[in-house]
Every structure is written in C-alpha cells, then in structure tokens.
Structure 1
Amino acid sequence: MRMKNMCLILTLAICTLLNSCVCVDSLNTVKRCDSADSCACSSGSIRSELYFGLQKPDGSSVAEAEWQGFLDKSITSRFPDGFTVFDAYGQYKEQNGKITREKTKVLVVVHKDGRDDDLKKICEEYEKAFSQELVFRTSSRVSSSLDD
C-alpha cells in the first residue's frame, strides 16, 4: 500500500512539473488532463487555496478583528455557501535572498468553474487593504461530494 501511495505522489508531482492537471478519484485512479480547464473529474469541482500573509510592511500584523472584517466583506460575500480558513505558518524567499517567515491565514474553497474573477478580486482587495505584495494561490481539479 505504501508503494502505491508513493507512486501516486510521484505521478502528481511529475504532472505538476509538466504543467498539466491530474485528478485522483476515491480509488486512487489518476486521470491526466491537458489543462486545468479540460480536466474532467467526476464532479468538475475546483479546490482553490489562497495564502494570506499576516505581516504588514511596517512590521505589525493584521489583527484578528481586521481579518474578520475582511473575511465578512470580501470572502463570505463571494462564497456564501461555505469555505474553510485555518491558521498556518510559512516562509518564502524574497527576490533579494532574504527569508521571510510569517503567520498566515489559508482559505480553502471548493467551487465550480467560473469563479476565477472572484478569487482574483479577493487577492487584490487583501493586497490593497493590508499593503501586501501578493497573495499566493493554488487551484486544482478535485472530485467532491456532500455525503449525508
């Protein structure tokens, strides 16, 4: 079983490097797709993750009340059916070589096609509101369901 999981992880990594899309169903069957838009998972859902750094350029942090206000105004209004947010800690290397470490909020939302503009606007609004250079974003095709 462990070897099968390693093969699955390796396949996903290779496809990512080749800039293609893969879908993995509940039976660990991998389907390769030519692009993210053509990937045909069973439900056609997309899982998007947005990574919001909480450190402001002046060294202060985005306060919990500020985050909650942003969440209510910019995220809940666009994805009222639901999403998940969790606290994380990460690091990245700046262009000048400096390693920056900071607390982060990660937004996970599973949605249908056609929500790209909403996600871009959320990123832009956060960048503007909190003087951020960028919000890191990932999106991938997934199979999803709500089981009773």
Structure 2
Amino acid sequence: MRSIRISTPAAAFLAAAALLFALGGPASEAAFGTHEASAASEQNVAEEGSPYISTHLYFGTGRHNGNPPITEEEFMKFVADVITPRFPSGLTLQEARGQWRDKEGDINRERSYELTVMYPVREAHARNADIEYIRGLYCKTWELESVGRADVRAQVDF
C-alpha cells in the first residue's frame, strides 16, 4: 500500500472542510474558543457579582498542657459574643477534623471549625482589624498558638 503525504496547508483545508461537512455549515467562533469568544465569555463572568474577599478562619479545639478541648458550647458562645457582632450580615460555619504541626514539631489532630466571612473589597482594611481581633482573642482565651487564615478574592452576588 502506498502512503500519501499531505502538506500542512492542505491538511488544514481538509480538516476544515470535514468539520464544515460534519456540522452542516460554518462553525461559530465560540465553538473553537477564539480570542473574541473567550473575551466575551470572560466579560460576562466579570460583570456578575461584585468584588469581595472571602476569609476562611480555621479554629482548632485542642488545648495544651492537659487542658480539656474547647467544647461546642464554648465555641458557639465565642461565635455569638465575638464573631457575630463583627459580621452581623452573615457567616458560614462548618465543623471539621483538622491537623497541624505545633511549634514543638508534634502533629495535633483535633475537632475544628472553619468559619467563612465575605465582605466587599472596599471594606478590607476595616475587616482585617476585626479578623485579627477575633484570631488574637481566641488564642488568648484558650492559650493556643494560632488560628489559621486564608483570604480569597471572589466575585459575589446574593
């Protein structure tokens, strides 16, 4: 059997013709993800919602020096008394299982909570002070090393 070699321009033409035949007409730019179609798609996404920051705080409940873990009741009181007044518009709280390495190098596994608060980017400076107050008070109250923090930019719509 004899092989036929097709030049690159001819191969491109044949592929386009086959696609045109298969689709029954001209293919849209959106189907191929052209720059114009991608830009229009990104523009639509960018217009939805407003720029926010989503802050995630990670609260462990294990304590040092043989002290009992922070109970659910103690933690929920902290949420009600300290966190809610600073974020009255809303928050999300999830119970979790966490682990982390402490300053002595030990791995600690504990029941934990992930708190998520979202706020407009324009409020970031003021909210940072609230978040750092919450983190500091939690550590001071139960003699803990840290509360984890992660900030993520997001487009948010309610």
- Per the normalisation by structure 2, the TM-score is 0.63
Is 1:125 the counterpart of 2:132? The answer is no
Q: How does 1:1-148 map to 2 (within 5 A)?
A: 43-57=50-64, 58-112=66-120, 113-114=124-125, 115-146=127-158
User: Using the alignment, how far apart are the partners of 2:156 and 2:85 within structure 1?
Assistant: 22
User: Using the alignment, how far apart are the partners of 1:97 and 1:63 within structure 2?
Assistant: 25
Which has the larger helix fraction?
2
Contact 2:49 2:157 in 1 (8 A): no
Name the SS of the counterpart of 1:90 in structure 2. Answer: strand
User: Using the alignment, how far apart are the partners of 2:75 and 2:96 within structure 1?
Assistant: 14
Deviation at 1:142, TM superposition (A): 0.4
Runs of at least 5 residues in structure 2 that lack an aligned partner in the other structure? 1-40, 43-47
Give the residue type in structure 1 aligned to 2:51: G
Find the counterpart in structure 1 of residue 29 from structure 2: none
User: Using the alignment, how far apart are the partners of 1:95 and 1:67 within structure 2?
Assistant: 23
Deviation at 1:42, TM superposition (A): 5.5
Name the SS of the counterpart of 2:54 in structure 1. Answer: strand
User: Using the alignment, how far apart are the partners of 2:101 and 2:139 within structure 1?
Assistant: 18
User: Using the alignment, how far apart are the partners of 2:52 and 2:131 within structure 1?
Assistant: 15
Runs of at least 5 residues in structure 1 that lack an aligned partner in the other structure? 1-26, 30-40
Task: Provide the aligned length of Structure 1 versus Structure 2.
Answer: 108
Give the residue type in structure 2 aligned to 1:78: R
> Which is greater in Rg?
2
Structure 1 residues 129 and 96: CA distance shift in structure 2, 3 A: closer
Find the counterpart in structure 1 of residue 9 from structure 2: none
- Per the normalisation by structure 1, the TM-score is 0.68
Deviation at 1:59, TM superposition (A): 4.2
- Percent sequence identity is 31
Runs of 4+ in 1 over 6 A off after TM superposition: none
Deviation at 1:123, TM superposition (A): 0.3
Structure 1 residues 129 and 110: CA distance shift in structure 2, 3 A: same
